[in-house]
Amino acid sequence: MSTALVTGAAQGFGFALTAALTDRRTTTVVDARDGGRLHAAVATLAHPDRVVAVPGDVTDPAHRGALLTAVRAAGGLDLLVHNASELGPSPLPSLAELPLHAFEAVYETNVIAPFALTRLLLPLLRSAAAATVVTISSDAATEAYPGWGGYGSSKAALDQLAAVLGAEEPALRVYAFDPGDMRTAMHQRAFPGEDISDRPEPATVVPALLRLLDERPASGRYRAADLGSPIPREAGR
């Protein structure tokens, strides 16, 4: 692939994926809400010259327009990774205690923004030889964990959007990718005060996603934990 867009790339899995993609000579457009953190992160990469940093919030239509401009300037788009995510309040409240405004903010970032950005970029993806869309999922999308109702239901909705997009756009590959628990700032916010040092670093999970991108099995939902085994060509359907 020649050009990718990774949202939420200033830290965690998005940053680790960006590092891996640029090592593969992929021009990677990245964003994050905190512009200072984003530029500082890009500066630490082995190949910062292969990164186009566009600070901003994916929930902002003007920012999504800036991302479109950036990928056009880069020559098109082969890979779109919806990594930016909103956890909600910390500690995680029950549904009965989850404020409506916080619930709306979770859905705005985790569902509406990826939907809007995908629609905006779909003509570029369709024109690529072999384009892929990846939505970052979670086991909270499929399991009922107390406190995870807002975030988990938003990821379930995003999974379904990915599934339908894959059915409607057979020329694309559309993957809902569940990386599993990772040692990230968001995961720490989900478990304030707990020691999460036993969780794997995001960089150790990236190879599982790269395998999906390389092998291009059927569109569908894949767990990083399952990608050590052969992938049936129709596994995702």
Residues identified as active-site? 151
Residue type, 40: A
Strand 3-6, strand 173-178: pairing: unpaired
CA 95 vs. chain centroid, Å, equals: 25
Residue 113 to residues 33, 36, 58, 94, 132, Cα–Cα distance (Å): 13, 22, 6, 24, 18
Peptide bond preceding 202 in cis form (omega within 30 of 0): no
Residue among 130, 135, 14, 157 nearest 80 (CA): 135
98: alpha, beta or left? (left if phi > 0; alpha if psi -120 to 50): beta
